Amino acid sequence: MRIYALPTQLINQIAAGEVVERPASVVKELLENSFDARASAIVIEIEQGGIGLIRIRDDGTGIVKEDISLALSRHATSKITSLGDLEKVGTMGFRGEALPSIASISRLTLISRAGDSDCAWRVVSENSQVDNALEPASNPEGTTVEVRDLFYNTPARRKFLKTEKTEFNHIEVLIKRLALSQFETGFILRHNHKEVLSLNPAHTELEQQARVEKVCGEGFVAQSVNVYFEAAGLQLEGWVGLPTFSRSQSDRQFFYVNGRLVRDKLVIHAIKRAYHDVLFQGRQPVFVLFLTLNPRLVDVNAHPTKLEVRFRESRLVHDFIFKALHRSLADIKPETTMPSEFLAVNHEQGSSQPMPAELSRGVFQSRLPQKVSTEIERYATLGVSGQTGEKGEVPLPQSVNEVPPLGFAIAHIHDIYILSETVSGIILVDTHAAHERVVYERLKQQRAAGVIPSQPLLLPVRFQVTTEEADLSEKHSDLFNGLGFELNRLGPESLIIRAIPALLMQTKIEQLLRDVLADLLAYGTTRRIEETGDEILATLACHTSVRAHRRLTVVEMNALLRDMEMTERSGQCNHGRPTWVEISAQELDKFFLRGQ
């Protein structure tokens, strides 16, 4: 078999196949060139979903006359000059590198004017054939690229494109995503001569928040946690949504590495781990996060489209992201002062748990983590046991400033929900869910401290199990000891419990151990059990928490409210369901048409 050198046109078309999947791919490559040219305003004009025309005009630095034709040549770029530059890429792309590939599957016109040039210059390329005759053109400082008749000479690729509406939707979504990494750049998007999107430059914090909400949905910033962490040369900042601000799809997840939009498996895994016991099953978190690190520590050329990156110290990056978000979510506690802006818990249209319109505007959780105030600490003397003073009464506040965030309990509705009155309205608390979180966090703290207090049983409990379950109890004896159990094997299918965690004295011990053994059977290996230790603690917490339909006294209800105010992640139970919601006084007035 003979070996042949491929024609230039075919080489370019093969390269185009790597980076140009659809019109949105062309838009991405051209916009990244505009970003590298430090453009402050970009106009994107699309016709027929990008198949007929893609025109991108920026006010960047422009290209000097002598380099315009060279920009359409393969392996010509202004971004790198040596191998060392490849090891610390600080730009979005390689200026000109994508242009010959795009030109090989379209009719491309490049017009550019450098700052000190008297006029702009135009060069035309069709089917990889560049007309080197430069022509003067009218264009302000910056660059305009026109791409017409995309895939006109590769019909096999063109037939895989979707409808005009679908292809344009991909372009619009892409521009919104890229706009979040370029706050100081303004964007205008037109489709078939109609303006679809206009984003002004966002210089101030409020302007940046407004742009984020335009992409992530109204209310996102109010229902998110501000993140800023620095360690080991890494910096992470941005916004992560509260667990109650979640979606059924992962279409509102934006992560940027040194300003570059990426979709990285390592990053997604770290973020999911941070949410693992506060997010309801099947729901997806919403986030806009920016990771900054030394360019030498990340390879941005791991994928032709640069949507994936490779970290040189992947474990360090993973653990940094996880710890930063885990800590941010843990710090979310009821605020001392409730905010004026809220979003319904089931904010997403098409939720599987809809609520009446009259109520959907009034069911909320608080917005940002706040350090627990001295007023809260005054009321934190009551534990889950409900211990109080001599008269067993909760002290009444002397002023509005002394009312704790979750207020004071006034009723136990249906023996399930605590009704509490606050300064700004009323709060409903799911007793079991809230108590489950409180116990769970205490168990985790005790485990982190190295020991969970154990309480010997006056009458040891003996019960029958399968041989496999008995074998597991011996194989994982260290795990049971660490959890505060003294569990021994009496025979091939017989176990005896002599001591249990002190917090679980009121639990049905035999059923509890059967559930834990079932977890062990499901998780399998010892390593997997260690990784899912929180899930096992969650099972313990669930079984010892206050059950629905058990009537609580006012003292017990207030004790639980105070515990919630002091407990990390108290806004959700261990399964991700909300533990409390608020209806403001203003919403109550609306329900009854007061003041109207």
**Tens digits of residue pLDDT in 528-575:** 444 556 777 777 788 777 776 788 999 999 999 999 999 988 988 888
Residue labelled with tokens 């490049």: 110
Average pLDDT in the chain: 81
The number of CA neighbours under 13 Å toward the Cβ of 281 is 2
The pLDDT of residue 343: 35
* CA distance from start to end of the chain: 87
Shortest CA distance to 186 belongs to which of 205, 202, 175?
202
| Residues 528 and 420 grouped into a single domain | yes
Give yes or no: residues 363 and 419 share one domain.
yes
Note the pLDDT tens digit of each residue in 121-177.
999 987 666 666 789 999 999 999 999 999 998 888 888 899 999 999 999 999 999
Question: Can you give the CATH number for the domain in which 236 is found?
Answer: 3.30.230.10
Q: What is the pLDDT of residues 299-357, one digit of tens each?
A: 877 655 667 788 989 889 999 999 999 999 988 777 533 433 333 333 443 333 443 33
* Residue 568 CA: distances (Å) to CA of 188, 305, 409, 442: 43, 40, 21, 10
Q: With respect to residue 351, please indicate whether it lies within any of the assigned structural domains.
A: no
Q: What is the DSSP-derived secondary structure letter of residue 520?
A: H
Element housing 106 (H / E): none
Q: Are residues 195 and 77 in the same domain?
A: yes
Domain final residue pick, 199, 215, 239: 199
Distance CA 184, CA 568 (A): 36
What total of structural domains would you count in the chain? 3
- Helices and strands: H and E segment counts in the chain: 20, 24
d(CA 285, CA 343): 15
SS3 at position 300: coil
Structural domain contains residue 60 = yes
In a shared domain, residues 304 and 360: no
Cα–Cα distance between 20 and 33 in angstroms, integer?
15
- Whether 512 has a pLDDT exceeding 80, the answer reads no
Dist CA 41 CA 186 (whole Å): 5
CA dihedral 394, 398, 400, 402 (to 10 degrees): -60
Could you tell me if residue 1 is inside a domain?
no
496 and 425 in a common domain: yes
CATH number at residue 440: 3.30.1370.100
Of 365, 346, 364, nearest to 355 (Cα)? 346
Q: Is residue 349 part of a domain?
A: no
Rounded to an integer, what distance in angstroms lies between the CA atom of residue 118 and that of residue 359?
64
Tell which wins on pLDDT, 269 or 531.
269
The span from the CA of 118 to the CA of 308, in Å, is 41
pLDDT exceeds cutoff 80 at 359: no
- 364 against 419, higher pLDDT: 419
Same domain, 90 and 194: yes
> 325 lies in a domain?
yes
Q: Residue 329: which of 276, 372, 281, 383 has the closest Cα?
A: 276
The pair of structure tokens assigned to 343 is 């979003």
Does 363 score more than 70 pLDDT? no
pTM value is 0.71
Residue 333: per-residue pLDDT: 72
Beta strand ranges found along 454-554 (DSSP E): 454-464, 486-491, 494-501
> In this predicted structure, what is the pLDDT of residue 354?
47
In sequence order, the 6+-apart residues with CB closer than 8 A to the CB of 205 are none
> Tokens 């893609």 map to which residue?
54
Q: What is the pLDDT of residues 31-41, one digit of tens each?
A: 999 999 999 99
Per-residue tokens: 69: 């034709």
Residues 180 and 260 in one domain: no
Average of pLDDT values for 414-430? 93
Does 290 lie in the same domain as 308? yes
Tens-digit pLDDT profile for residues 81-133: 454 545 555 566 543 468 888 888 899 999 999 988 889 999 998 766 666 67
Distance CA 328, CA 274 (A): 9
Of 199, 223, 256, the position where a domain reaches its end is: 199
- The yes-or-no verdict on residue 18 having pLDDT over 90 is no
Q: Which tens digit of pLDDT belongs to each residue from 462-485?
A: 999 999 999 989 988 888 887 788
Q: Is residue 168 part of a domain?
A: yes
Chain centre distance of CA 568? 19
State how beta strands 120-126 and 107-113 pair: antiparallel
Res 380: pLDDT: 38
131 within 8 A of 116, measured Cβ to Cβ = no
The answer to whether residues 179 and 274 belong to one domain is no
164-179 vs 23-36: helix crossing angle, rounded to 10: 20
**506, pLDDT greater than 80:** no
Between 487 and 380, whose confidence is greater?
Answer: 487
Residue 156 identity:
A
- At which residue do the structure tokens 């046109």 appear? 9
pLDDT band at 383 (very low <50, low <70, confident <90, very high): very low
DSSP 572: B
**Domain for residue 2, yes or no?**
no
DSSP 3-state of 438: helix
pLDDT of residue 475: 87
In 471-539, the DSSP E strands lie at: 486-491, 494-501
What span, in angstroms and rounded, lies between the C-alpha atoms of 153 and 148? 12
Q: What is the pLDDT of residue 294?
A: 93
CATH of the domain at 140: 3.30.565.10
- Our CA angle for 223, 225, 231, nearest 5°, is 165
- 496 and 431 both lie in a single domain: yes
Element spanning 7, H or E: none
Round to whole Å and give the CA distance between 113 and 121: 6
Q: Are residues 434 and 543 in the same domain?
A: yes
Residue 392 domain boundaries: 338-344+356-596
Same domain membership, residue 166 and residue 131: yes
Q: What percent of the chain has pLDDT over 90?
A: 43
User: CA-CA distance, 216 to 6, in Å (whole number)?
Assistant: 46
* Residue that is written with structure tokens 């994928």 in the block: 303
Asked if 547 and 432 touch (Cβ cutoff 8 Å), the reply is: yes
Does 195 or 451 have the greater pLDDT score?
195
CB 182 within 8 A of CB 32: no
Pair 433, 365: CB distance under 8 Å: no
Mark which of 199, 226, 253 sits at the end of a domain.
199
Q: Is residue 3 part of a domain?
A: no
